[in-house]
Every structure is written in structure tokens, then in C-alpha cells.
Amino acid sequence: MASRRQKDRIAIACSEYGFFQIVNHGVSLELMSRAMELSKAFFENPDEEKLKSSPDSSAPLPAGYNKQPDHSADKNEYLLMFPPASRFNVFPSNPPELREVLEEMFSSFSRTGRIIETILNECLGLPPNFLQEYNHDRSWDFMAAMHYFPATEAENNGICEHEDGNCITFVLQDEVGGLEVRKDGVWIPVVPTQGTLVVNVGDVIQVLTNNKFKSATHRVVRSRGRDRYSYAFFYNLQGDKWVEPLPHFTEEIGEPPRYRGFLYKEYQQLRMKNKSHPPARPEDVIHITHYAIPN
């Protein structure tokens, strides 16, 4: 577990950046390296092979192989999965070892999520196990293996800037990097280091803490001439949970709530609509500010 000094540094990082990097996190270097190798092998398959893992249309999110449309600024393809026992998962058979490694990665990330959640709980001065009891259901977690295509000279090489709508996100980048976080209007590269995981705070934590910890705006900038591979694990919240600023950060310290309460699944539906039916005007895209209470 983290020392007092480490917790202080994490608290500062969460309040100023919303991002930090961790080592000794419980996901082995051997597993991460193998997972990256097998992900690359899968995405190198011809389209007809990858499309054998197309998602089940009844799933709440498209678990399985997905590819962004050619006109998308994202220009990526990804393999998405829910908890290993989920009936919605559509696993590829080529390479044959990938399924086992994906399941092991998912379980490792889930354990790391519980550790980081415990540390954040202590950093925030909440009662012992408060966040763990609030967010005890792991059925809404999901993980994606990502492949970003190289950028060309003629296109915008960065995906749309955004914040994550969940609790905590873990990112494993390859050596190409490309992840950037914005602070005070400046984009700061998150340089990949072997063995580290990137952690970023999501909108749920920002709301619960009444803006004490921030959900940072970030993006991925695709490299010209180089493919980028990564994994993202979304430590989520069960859909029927009510989200609002906690009294520890409002009435108990004399601060007004910055957000009105909402059901988590309703917010996720609005965010999905951003993607399925993109608004004509950027200012109409739904962010967590949709629930902000005017000063």
C-alpha cells in the first residue's frame, strides 16, 4: 500500500491534473508485454478474420471487435470486453492465446482498481471503505484493447478531447505514446515508461468530491507513420447508483454542491448519444457540466 508521502502526491495530482502514473501496481510486466504482443497480432489479421469477433447487438456496449468509420477523427479499431464471465463477450480465436490473456488482464486491472480506490478513499479523508462499499458492483467494468492508425499529413491526428465518465481509468501505452492531458490550456504529453500504468480520475469522482478531484480533459495524438497500441480499463459504477456531491465536501464544510444528482446510467446514455448521434454544434455535446449547478 502507498506511503503517506505517496498518498500526498497522489492527492495533489488528482486535484491539479486528474492524472498520475503508478508502478508496483499488481499487473505483471510479463503479462502486460504478452497482452500487447497478442493485441498487435490480432489487429494485424485481415478484416474478415477480425470481423468474426463482431459484437453481439444485444450488449449494452459493443463488446467484441469494432472499427471507427473512415470519416471519424479517431481512426482506430478496438476489441472491447466486459468481465470474463459476461455472456456478451465475443472473443477472437486468432491468436488462440488472446482470450486467456485478456481475461487475466481484466482480473488484474480489477484488483488494481480496488487498491487505487482504497488509496483515493484515504486521500479524501472519507470513512474507511466508503468508496468500496459505494462502488462494490464490478459488473459494469469494461476493458478495451486499442489500435490507432498512423496519422497522415492531410488529417487531424488527434481524437476529440474528452473526459472519462466513469470512476477511474487505467491506461497501458506502448512506446509510441500519444496520450496528452490538458492543464491550464496546455497539452502535456504523458510519456510512456515501461512497467507503469496511467491512472486518471473520471467524472464520478469529480462529482462525488464536489470538484476537489478533477476529471481531466485528455486526448490521444496519433503519430505520423507509426501505429499505436494501448489498453484501457474502465473501473466503472453500477448503472442504478445515484451520483451527487458527498456531504463530506458540501454541507460538512460549508460548501454549496456544484452538481445536481443523477442516475449513473442516465448520464452514460447521454454520453453514448454523443457518439451515436453527434450534435451539430460542439457546445451541444454532453459533458458532466450538464449537471452543474450555476453559481
140 is written with which cell numbers? Answer: 459494469
Q: Tell me, yes or no, whether 286 lies in a domain.
A: no
Q: Tell me, yes or no, whether 252 lies in a domain.
A: no
Task: Specify the number of domains making up the chain.
Answer: 1
- pLDDT for the residue numbered 70: 59
Q: Tell me, yes or no, whether 196 lies in a domain.
A: yes
Q: Tell me, yes or no, whether 273 lies in a domain.
A: no
Which residues are CB-contacts of 214 (< 8 A; sequence separation ≥ 6)?
14, 15, 16, 17, 18, 201, 206
The CA distances from residue 19 to 9, 16, 199, in Å, are 11, 8, 6
Instruction: With residue 108 as reference, give the H or E element that holds it.
Output: helix 98-123
Q: Tell me, yes or no, whether 89 lies in a domain.
A: yes
Q: Tell me, yes or no, whether 42 lies in a domain.
A: yes
Say what the pTM is.
0.94
Percent of the chain with pLDDT over 90: 79
Q: Tell me, yes or no, whether 90 lies in a domain.
A: yes
The domain that holds 8 is classified in CATH as 2.60.120.330
The CA distances from residue 278 to 160, 223, 228, 264, 284, in Å, are 12, 25, 25, 20, 9
Range of the domain at 228: 4-245
Q: Tell me, yes or no, whether 11 lies in a domain.
A: yes
> What's the whole-number mean pLDDT along residues 70-90?
85
pLDDT tens, residue by residue, 228-279: 999 999 999 999 999 999 999 999 999 999 999 999 999 999 998 877 777 7
